[in-house]
Amino acid sequence: VMQRALFTRGALLTQQAAVARDCPLAARSAPLLQRLERSMSSVTIPPPACILRPLEVPYRYLFGPGPSNVPPRVLASGSRPIIGHLHPEMYEIMNDIKKGIHYAFQTENNMTIAMSGSGHAAMECAVFNTVEPGESVLIAINGIWGERVAEIAERMGANVHKLVKAPGGHFTNIEIEKAIGKHKPVLFFLAHGESSAGLCQPVDGIGDICRKHNCLFLVDTVASLGAAPIFMDKQNIDILYTGSQKALNAPPGTAPISFNDRACHKMFNRKTKPVSYLFDMTHLSNYWGCDGKAVRAYHHTGPVSGFFALRESLAILAEKGLEESWRKHKEVAAYLYRGLEDLGLELFIPDKDLRLPSVTTISIPEGYDWREMLVYIMKHHQMEMTGGLGPSIGMVMRIGLMGYNCEKTNADKALHALADALKNCKKSKA
């Protein structure tokens, strides 16, 4: 093999000399030499032409349900030099993230970390750690997120009960208490921001109901954190998680999650090990310095750059203030609602107090093909809006203005693009 490699290299150099003699310009062309070299290499699968082209990423207005545009400051933080995931400086950054999550979630829970993974990682972590096979769980389903959590719980062998409403419907505390009383679950799941339907589910009082029935209260705030008020401690939420890529405006790929003492008691006194090693809170709590041990051991290599960016996004939220962030989302959403109604569009959630300020859903206007409208808006305005998801597909179009994107000027851009699509996609496929 060695001899062949030398021969090949020698032959190449001769070939290169010949090229240099016949064509001096080509001789200076490194890509040509590289191509010749590669054509004679021992690998049988050649490098793909597409990957040899320079990376191209267009600028898009991300006005869908996420990811949202990432502010330059957060992007810059993610491009800092990599340090080791077990270096003391990294632990400091992780401690800062933990404090930032305390503020964003309004909690003092020690067991607060960020998952190395997207919102789904936090969903799985919550269920895998607090539920054992055969135990009953109750999942409120009024869009795709309840469906997903039900599937996750089914896969790990839980006995899943569902409380189902059509997309856009919300649950009353009476309905919830009745179902909890009937099924006696160890865990009750609710999405605070049901992004597939654009609904913001009220959560006051539900934590108390869960306590009364000795059930853990798990809440998804992936689409609502920073956009609509949530108070983990005051509202007696036992497990709360979110994602990095929505109102927090960090790149996708990290997901804050917090467990209170009730949740810790349940998850650290189980008879069986959680089905996932990666998401096992016994290890993650040590990696995040939450277990009181002096040494943080290697468990997995955390996404170092993702954590830098998450820290910066939490810093921006802390500088701005939660109340100001909630106020701004509400104000810009109200401005958007007026503009949509002026265009003759119908808001999917009739009660404006139940609308999710970060993701607005409109009913699909009669006589229009929603897919065609979305393609038109992307093509002519470089703007992402989306259709429904899961059970809301074909029912809604979704416009997200969150965090950094939450500005009236952006609402104007979205309204302008929609008006243009309404003019140009009219009744084309109906």
Rg over alpha carbons for the chain, rounded to the nearest Å, is 26
Question: Restricting to residues 275-334, which ones interact with ligand PMP according to CB under 6 A?
Answer: none
Per rule CB under 6 A, is residue 191 in the interface with ligand PMP?
Answer: yes
Residue in 100, 167, 168, 193 binding ligand PMP, rule: CB under 6 A: 193
Q: Which residues, 6 or more positions from 1, have their beta carbon under 8 angstroms from its beta carbon?
A: 42
Q: Which stretch binds ligand PMP (CB under 6 A): 26-34, 86-94, 113-121, 418-426?
A: 113-121
The owner of tokens 């109340």 is 323
| Span near ligand PMP by CB under 6 A; candidates 84-92, 96-104, 187-195, 421-429 | 187-195
Please give the single-letter amino acid code of residue 175.
Answer: E
Near ligand PMP by CB under 6 A: residue from 167, 168, 207, 243: 243
- DSSP letter for each residue of 119-165: HHHHHHHHHHHH--TT-EEEEEESSHHHHHHHHHHHHTT-EEEEEE-
How many residues of this chain interact with ligand PMP, rule: CB under 6 A? 14
Segment 333-362, which members bind ligand PMP (CB under 6 A)? none
> Least distance from C-beta 245 to ligand PMP, angstroms?
6
Residue among 120 and 330 whose Cβ is closer to ligand PMP: 120
Contact between residue 72 and residue 44 where contact means Cβ atoms under 8 Å apart: no
Among 8, 15, 106, 118, binds ligand PMP (CB under 6 A): 118
Residue whose Cβ sits closest to ligand PMP: 119
Strands 386-387 and 396-400: antiparallel
User: Of 66 and 274, which CB lies nearer to ligand PMP in the complex structure?
Assistant: 66
Contact 414, 383 (CB under 8 A): yes
| The only residue of 12, 36, 86, 120 in contact with ligand PMP, by rule CB under 6 A | 120
398 has binding-site annotation? yes
Q: Contact, 202 vs 170, CB < 8 A?
A: yes
Check binding of 145 to ligand PMP (CB under 6 A).
yes
Please identify, among the stretches 39-47, 190-198, 324-332, 342-350, the one whose residues bind ligand PMP according to the rule CB under 6 A.
Answer: 190-198
DSSP 382-414: -EE-EE--GGGTTTEEEEE--GGG-SHHHHHHH
Alpha carbon distance, N-terminus to C-terminus of the chain: 66
List the interface residues with ligand PMP, window 62-91 (CB under 6 A): 65-66
**Measured between alpha carbons, how far is 97 from 281 in angstroms, rounded to an integer?**
17
Q: Residues interacting with ligand PMP, by CB under 6 A? A: 65-66, 118-120, 145, 191, 193, 195, 220, 222-223, 243, 252
Q: Which residues are annotated as a binding site for substrate?
A: 398
